[in-house]
């Protein structure tokens, strides 16, 4: 009889690939680069950090620097208590600060607007009376010092915005002032603005002149 042939085939079994562990020296180097503060600080130049600190400081103090430099006695005013409010009229916005001072003899308000005395900033008598109106109503024109910063609008709208903001600060100082100021109409935000021009018209309502012939 013929010898039976071996039908079984040899099958090779593949072993699962095992990743080689990182060398301890390389792993230590990576850890030191990621976690060590010494190497991280060396990457940033000291000149850049100093410049960045200077710019951040100017941004933080720029908001109040105007009010500190606006008046004559700026050095002694930094620790003073004040009352602050915002007044608006048309597109004018007034940021007003009210300081309490000892009454002085001159019957003239100590009001500073955008770094100037209010009579220099508002040369006409009508605008000066608008600003003094709230203080004169309470008979305390020489009791307070006012420092204001105004943006936008025209001269009259700026004066009325200052009056609105000043009336609001006076209420913060003493709530009993509210009755007189409200009756005079100084606490209301005047919503009136110029009406927009319409298409086909000369102005808001002015139509072009019609001619028959």
pLDDT in tens, 115-161: 999 999 999 999 999 999 999 999 988 899 999 999 999 999 999 99
Q: From CA 117, how far away is CA 158, in angstroms rounded? A: 14
Q: For residue 148, count other CB atoms closer than 10 A to its CB.
A: 25
106's CB contacts (< 8 A; 6+ apart) are: 142
Closest to 154 in 3D by CA, of 188, 124, 112: 124
Tell me, yes or no, whether 28 lies in a domain: no
| Beta-carbon contacts of residue 208 (< 8 Å; ≥ 6 apart) | 201, 202
113 domain residue, yes or no: yes
Is 38 domain-assigned? no
First to last CA, the chain: 135
> What CATH number has the domain bearing residue 156?
3.30.230.10
Domain that holds residue 145: 79-184
Q: Is residue 164 part of a domain?
A: yes
Q: How many domains does the chain have?
A: 1
- Which residues neighbour 65 within 8 Å (Cβ) at sequence distance 6 or greater? none
pLDDT tens-digit map of 164-194 = 999 999 999 999 999 999 999 999 999 999 9
Does residue 125 lie within any of the structural domains?
A: yes
Answer whether residue 138 is part of any domain: yes
* Domain assignment present for 180: yes
Residue 93 host element (H or E): strand 92-100
């Amino acid at each position: 009889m013929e010898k039976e042939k071996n039908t079984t085939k040899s099958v090779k079994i593949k072993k699962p690939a095992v990743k080689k562990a990182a060398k301890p020296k390389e792993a230590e180097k990576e850890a030191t680069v990621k976690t060590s503060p010494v190497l991280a600080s060396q990457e940033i130049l000291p000149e850049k950090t100093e410049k960045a600190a200077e710019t951040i400081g100017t941004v933080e103090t720029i908001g109040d620097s105007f009010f500190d430099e606006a008046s004559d006695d700026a050095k002694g005013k930094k620790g003073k208590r004040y009352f602050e409010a915002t007044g608006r009229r048309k597109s004018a916005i007034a940021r007003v600060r009210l300081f309490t001072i000892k009454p002085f003899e001159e019957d003239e308000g100590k009001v500073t607007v955008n770094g100037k005395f209010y009579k220099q900033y508002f040369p006409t008598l009508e605008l000066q009376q608008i600003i003094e109106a709230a203080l004169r109503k309470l008979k305390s024109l020489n009791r307070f010092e006012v420092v204001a910063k105004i943006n936008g609008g025209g001269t009259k709208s700026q004066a009325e915005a200052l009056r609105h903001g000043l009336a609001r600060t006076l209420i913060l100082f003493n709530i009993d002032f509210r009755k007189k100021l409200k009756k005079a109409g100084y606490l209301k935000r005047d919503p009136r603005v110029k009406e927009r021009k319409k298409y086909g018209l000369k102005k808001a309502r002015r139509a072009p002149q019609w001619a028959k012939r």
